[in-house]
Amino acid sequence: MAMSEFGIVYAVHIITVQFGSVVSKVCECLLRKGPLSSRDISRLAESDINHNQVKDILYLLIQHNCVQAFSIEPPDGSESKAIVQYIVLFNNILHRVRYNKFSRIVNEELGSECGAVLDGLLSNGRLRLGQLIERDRDSGKTIGSEAIRDSLQKLVAARFVERIPSPEPVLGNKDQEPAKKRGAKAAKILKEPETLEERVVEAATPVDAIRFPLIFEEDSNSSLADDNSNITEGKRKQRDVDSSDPSSGVIWRPNFEEFIHRLRHKACVEIVKERRDEGCAIVLRAMLEVGRSQEKKVKTDNSAPMSVGSIYEEVIKTEAGRTMLQERVEACLDQLSATSSYLPAFVTEMNDSYIVDFKSIISVAQKDEVEAVVMRRYGKEAFRMFRYLSQEGRFVETDKIADAALTEKKDTPQILLKMWKDGYLHMQKLAITGTYVPFLLWKVNKLIVTRQMLDEMYHASLNLNLRLAHELESEKELLMLPSDKLEGPLKERVKKVRAKRLLLSSTMFKLDDAIMLFHDF
C-alpha cells in the first residue's frame, strides 16, 4: 500500500525524535523521492549535508534496520555498473514505536533474561553475541555470558531474532522478466511482490537455514547427542569452547515479522472472543498454534488445514482448555464455521479438516472501526447508508439508498456528499438525455476507505506524540524535583501531569493497534 502524506510526516517525526533533525532530512528525502544513490541524496536532501555525512547517516539507518541498500542488474549487453541505491523501510520505522509490545511478548513467553537480550538488540539495532555479552557486563544488572548465549539461542529458536539480511542484494532487471517463460503452476507459486520495497526485502532475506542457524545446529547436535546417549555432555562441551562457536561472528537483529505475526494472532483471538465467546477464542488460539509453523508470511489469508484431533490436542495443553471435552471443541468449530447476516464464517470446514479464515476475521474488525468513525463523524443516518453500501458492494442510486437506510430523500444527497468529500464514498455521475441534473450512483471503495482511515490515524498519532512531548517539556522542571519536596499544590500538580501522560500514552498505544489492523494485518 502506497505511503500517505501523514504516514510520511509521522515516520519523519519518529526518526527526528530518536535520531535528530539531520538524520530525518535524509530519511524524508528517501520517503518522498523513493530509492536513491548516496550522491543523489546529498544533492536532493533539503539541508547542507555533504556526501560523507550522508554516507554516515545511511550506515546509521542501516544499523537500526530503517534503510536497506540494493542494486539493480544492468540490462543485457550494457557495460555500465550497477549503482548502489538505498530504500527506506517504512514498516520498520513504524515498528520503532512498538518496542514495548515486542518486549512484553518475549518477557511473557520466554522470561526476563531473553527480554533483556531482546532489549539490547532493539536499542542497538544489530549486535554480535560478543557485543551482547559486553553490553551485559557494562550494565548494572548482569545476567552472565552463559545466560546471554542461552537466551539468544531461545530467541532464535522462537524466531524472535534472526541473522541480518544480505547487505546489498542485486535485483533482476524487471524489464527483462516478461521474456522469461514460466509454467502456469510456477506462476501461481512464484507470485511477484507488489512493491519495490517488498522485492528488495525478499531479495535480501536469506533462506531459513541461514536466517535462523541456531535452530538447525541445535537439531543436529541433539540427534548426535542421542546417538551417543550423552546430551548434557555434548551441550557442555559446545559452550566451553567459545572459539568454535559459529554464532559468535554472526550479526543478529530483531525479527519484526515474527512479532507482527504474534500480534496478528492475538488480535484475531480477541476479535473472535468479542464476536463469539470465550470457548471459541480458546479453540481459535489452539488452531493458530497448530498452524503457526506453516504460515510463511504475516498477511496470510488462510491457515493450513488441520484435523479436529490436532486441534483438541493443542486445546488441552492450556489451563483454560483442560476443562473442555472434544464435543465442546467440535461445537465451537461449528459455531466458528457458521455464517449470519452480520458475521461471516471465521473457520472453513473442508474434507473433515478446518481452515482459519484470517481475512474474514480481520475484515470484521476493520469494518467495525470504519463504521464507528462514520457514526461519530456523520451521525446515525450516514452510518446506516454506509453500512448498506458496504453490504451491497456495488454502485447504488441515491433513492434506493434513502429507502434502504430509512432516511428522508431530500436529506440523503447532502449526507452522501459529505462522506464523498472526505473520501469515504466513491461517486459516479450518469448523464441522462433530457434532464439537466446528473444521475448519481454511490459505492464504498474499501481500498480508498482503508487509505483514508490510515492517513487519519497517522495524523492523530502524530498529534498525540506532539502533545505528549509538549506536556513533558512544559513540566520538565516540576517532574525533576525529588519526591520529598513535592507537597501540597505541587504534589497535586505532579499527579495531574502523570495522569495526563498516562492517558496520552494509552491512547497512542490503542491507536497504534488500529494502525496495525489496517496496515500490518
Q: What is the pLDDT of residues 62-74, one digit of tens each?
A: 999 999 999 988 8
pLDDT range class, residue 260, cuts 50, 70, 90 = very high
pLDDT range class, residue 241, cuts 50, 70, 90 = very low
Per-position b or e across 105-141, b if 16+ CB within 10 A of its CB: bbbeebeebbbbbbbbbbeebbbebeebbebbeeeee
How far apart are the C-alpha atoms of 366 and 378, rounded to whole Å?
A: 18
Element (H, E) at 323: none
Please state the pTM of the whole predicted model: 0.85
User: Reduced to 3 states, what is the DSSP secondary structure of residue 121?
Assistant: helix
Q: Which residue has the cell 507470485?
A: 191
Q: Which amino acid is at 45?
A: A
With 50 as the cut, is the pLDDT of residue 124 above it? yes
What's the pLDDT score for residue 471?
Answer: 87
**pLDDT tens track for 367-395:** 999 999 999 999 999 999 999 999 888 99
Q: In what order do the strands lie in the sheet with 426-430?
A: 396-397, 439-443, 426-430
Q: What's the helix, strand, coil split of the chain in %, to 5?
A: 65, 10, 25
User: Reduced to 3 states, what is the DSSP secondary structure of residue 72?
Assistant: strand
pLDDT range class, residue 80, cuts 50, 70, 90 = confident
Per-position b or e across 25-47, b if 16+ CB within 10 A of its CB: bbbbbbbeeebbebebbbeebee
Residue 185, judged by CB atoms within 10 A of its CB (0-12, 13-18, 19+), counts as exposed
**pLDDT greater at residue 225 or residue 488:** 488
Asked if residue 75 lies in contact with residue 175, where contact means CB atoms within 8 angstroms, the answer is yes
**pLDDT tens track for 428-458:** 887 666 555 678 899 998 888 899 899 999 9
How far apart are the C-alpha atoms of 461 and 93, rounded to whole Å?
A: 14
What's the pLDDT score for residue 81?
Answer: 80
pLDDT range class, residue 174, cuts 50, 70, 90 = low
Closest CA to 409 of 379, 370, 438, 381: 381
**pLDDT tens track for 326-359:** 999 999 999 999 988 788 999 999 988 999 999 9
Q: What is the pLDDT averaged over residues 59-86?
A: 87
